[in-house]
């Protein structure tokens, strides 16, 4: 597969304090198409705001089977994806503690949005856990997923006392972290606890 099977959109603070962002964009541009934009943020922001969208011209299942778990059919594409991941890893290590506002993995069938300012270690752990958890979701008949947003957590409305769900930060206790999943082409929504491997 050609390099245009993946393209990347990056949005950074106009007054960014991140180290090595020009080198990041340059190195990524050698691997695939990169769209980099600057955005104005209020003065109260940190200067380290960063949004990334990785767009893959393949399905989530193909990604899980051939990129995270190497296969022959997409081997050339696999190598590109891994080089992209290695390039980002180097940048994340260099800027540990910065505010990754939103990481999107956009496949032909589903978008995975990671919010809540994850650390480099959190992203690596999450990335490595995908094959296991998506196999569990498949067995639980959570199919035709269109969007996954994480992390969410369970909340209690102070006025009504009813249970609600809202996004949270990654320092929330692991057993309370949830994935919000829209499935059956967006017609149904559920919450999945990866720690307990249960659907809520």
Who contacts 120 (Cβ-Cβ below 8 Å, separation ≥6)? Answer: 89, 92, 93, 96
The pLDDT value given to residue 95: 78
Tracing tokens 């990654």 back to the chain, one arrives at 170
Give domain limits for the chain: 1-109, 130-200
Kindly report whether the global pTM for this prediction surpasses the value 0.85: no
- pLDDT tens sequence across 36-65: 988 777 655 666 677 889 898 888 887 777
Name the pLDDT band for 75 (thresholds 50, 70, 90): low
pLDDT above 70: residue 3: no
Name the pLDDT band for 12 (thresholds 50, 70, 90): confident
Who contacts 64 (Cβ-Cβ below 8 Å, separation ≥6)? Answer: 130, 131, 134
Phi, psi values for residue 66, rounded to 5°? -120, -15
- pLDDT tens sequence across 94-121: 877 665 667 888 999 999 999 877 776 7
Strand partners, 179: 192
The pLDDT value given to residue 199: 96
Cα separation, 103 vs 114, in Å, equals: 5
Task: Kindly provide the residue ranges of all beta strands, DSSP E only, lying in the chain, ordered along the sequence.
Answer: 6-13, 33-39, 49-56, 99-106, 111-114, 147-156, 163-167, 178-183, 188-193, 198-199
Helix 75-94 to helix 21-29 angle (10° resolution) is: 170
Tracing tokens 């390099």 back to the chain, one arrives at 3
Return the SS3 of 57. coil
8 A C-beta contact, residue 150 and residue 123: no
**CA dist list (Å): 137 to 168, 180, 198:** 22, 12, 9
Domain boundaries 1-109, corresponding CATH code: 3.30.429
8 A C-beta contact, residue 8 and residue 84: yes
8 A C-beta contact, residue 26 and residue 91: no
The pLDDT value given to residue 151: 94
Least confident among 66-70, 72-76, 167-171: 72-76
Least confident among 79-83, 105-109, 126-130, 132-136: 79-83
């Amino acid at each position: 597969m050609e390099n245009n099977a993946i393209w990347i959109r990056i949005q950074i603070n106009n007054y960014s304090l991140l180290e090595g962002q020009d080198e990041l964009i340059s190195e990524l541009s050698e691997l695939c198409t990169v769209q980099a934009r600057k955005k104005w943020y209020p003065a109260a922001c940190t200067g380290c705001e960063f949004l990334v969208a990785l767009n893959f011209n393949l399905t989530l299942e193909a990604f899980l089977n051939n990129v995270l778990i190497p296969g022959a059919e997409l081997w050339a594409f696999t190598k590109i994806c891994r080089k992209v991941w290695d390039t980002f890893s180097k940048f994340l290590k260099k800027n540990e503690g910065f505010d990754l506002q939103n990481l999107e993995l956009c496949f032909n069938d589903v978008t995975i949005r990671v919010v809540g300012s994850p650390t480099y270690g959190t992203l690596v752990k999450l990335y490595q856990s995908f094959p296991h958890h998506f196999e569990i979701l498949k067995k639980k008949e959570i199919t035709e997923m269109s969007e996954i947003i994480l992390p969410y957590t369970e909340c209690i409305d102070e006025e009504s006392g009813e249970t609600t769900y809202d996004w949270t930060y990654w320092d929330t206790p692991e057993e309370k972290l949830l994935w919000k999943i829209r499935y059956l082409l967006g017609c149904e929504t559920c919450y999945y606890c990866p720690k307990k491997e249960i659907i809520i």
